[in-house]
Amino acid sequence: MQRMLIDFSGDDAVFGHFGATGGYALAARRAMHEFGTGPETWKKIAVGQRKWAGLNPAAMLRDKPLSEADYDAARWVVEPLRLPDNCLITDGGRAIIVTSVERARDLRQPPAVIMGLGMHNPSTSITQSDWMAGPTGARPAGEAAFAMAGITRDAVDACEIYDCFTYTVEITLQDYGFFKPGEGRDWLQGGTIEPGGRLPVNTSGGQLAEAYFMGLTPIAEGTMQIMGRCGQRQLGAATKTKSPEIILCSDNGGILQSHACILLRRL
């Protein structure tokens, strides 16, 4: 494992820079400097997602509620990121089946329909990036997906955002335009993304609190929510949220080096 981490890090390891937490810590720190975000914003994401995990029997952290005080007391991994800012490490798998709408109509399960897709891959190594505080690939990818779907953000009922770190959730929602740079902290106030909130985010608990299955955690959850298969955490009356017609899902790779946005809707 250590050998892999060193090989993966190349000469960055010479200076003690390893893996993903360090890379996202660099990005998150620059964002603190440029638009005034920080742990007060990320705390709302970590705490909010943990509430969703409490409703998910499959969530690794279902029985470990997280309060704001717990977050404040948590240890630094690589500052400015604390332990609850980090995703989980999970053995397991997820799959989704993609077929034509025509075929899906005849299946027993109701489908989720792909209404828009967008990708943008800035690629640049994070150590050579001058856009760590955005806009990341999420902006053009989101614009492309919304254009293909022919809708605007206002039509989105919930988001399943790739959440390797809490900061990734903030910068992704920000680059999609849900709030202006630095306004995430206010936007998140009052449980916006939580059960009962006006824009639920990462309704399984996400990779921070359910399980880390790379891009499959968000897209599988978005699909299952549209299909109505989410039990106690199902969007709609059960969680005092809007019944989902349209869900936005994102994926992200490297240290903000690749991005995909996918919009799903009910048939």
Euclidean distance between CA atoms 20 and 122, whole angstroms:
17
- Minimum CB separation from other proteins for residue 161, in Å? 22
Binder to other proteins among 57, 75, 91, 189 (CB under 8 A)?
A: 75
Question: Is position 19 an interface residue for other proteins (rule: CB under 8 A)?
Answer: yes
Question: Is position 14 an interface residue for other proteins (rule: CB under 8 A)?
Answer: yes
Active-site amino acid positions: 162, 212
Cβ distance to other proteins smaller for residue 78 or 209: 78
Q: Phi, psi at residue 257, to the nearest 5°?
A: -95, -20
The burial class, CB within 10 Å (0-12 / 13-18 / 19+), for 116 is buried
The burial class, CB within 10 Å (0-12 / 13-18 / 19+), for 176 is buried
Binder to other proteins among 27, 61, 219, 220 (CB under 8 A)?
A: 27
Question: Is position 123 an interface residue for other proteins (rule: CB under 8 A)?
Answer: no
**220: alpha, beta or left, given left = phi > 0 and alpha = psi -120 to 50?**
alpha
Euclidean distance between CA atoms 224 and 215, whole angstroms:
14
- Minimum CB separation from other proteins for residue 67, in Å? 22
Other residues' Cβ atoms within 10 Å of the Cβ of residue 211: 26
User: Are the beta carbons of 202 and 221 closer than 8 angstroms?
Assistant: yes
Cβ distance to other proteins smaller for residue 33 or 229: 33
For residue 260, the surrounding DSSP H or E stretch is strand 258-266
Question: Is position 12 an interface residue for other proteins (rule: CB under 8 A)?
Answer: yes
Cβ distance to other proteins smaller for residue 132 or 138: 132
Residue whose token pair is 């916006």: 192
Question: Is position 5 an interface residue for other proteins (rule: CB under 8 A)?
Answer: yes
- Contact region with other proteins (CB under 8 A), list: 46-54, 96-104, 123-131, 217-225: 123-131
- Minimum CB separation from other proteins for residue 35, in Å? 12
Question: Is position 255 an interface residue for other proteins (rule: CB under 8 A)?
Answer: no
Size of the site for other proteins (CB under 8 A): 33
User: Are the beta carbons of 148 and 117 closer than 8 angstroms?
Assistant: yes
Euclidean distance between CA atoms 197 and 188, whole angstroms:
10
Cβ distance to other proteins smaller for residue 23 or 195: 23
Question: Is position 256 an interface residue for other proteins (rule: CB under 8 A)?
Answer: no
**253 beta partners:** 258
Question: Is position 88 an interface residue for other proteins (rule: CB under 8 A)?
Answer: no
Question: Is position 58 an interface residue for other proteins (rule: CB under 8 A)?
Answer: no
Question: Is position 29 an interface residue for other proteins (rule: CB under 8 A)?
Answer: yes
The CA-atom distances, in angstroms, between 22 and each of 105, 107, 162, 182 are 46, 45, 18, 22
Task: List residues near other proteins by CB under 8 A.
Answer: 2, 5-6, 9-19, 21-22, 25-27, 29-30, 32-33, 75-80, 127-128, 130, 132
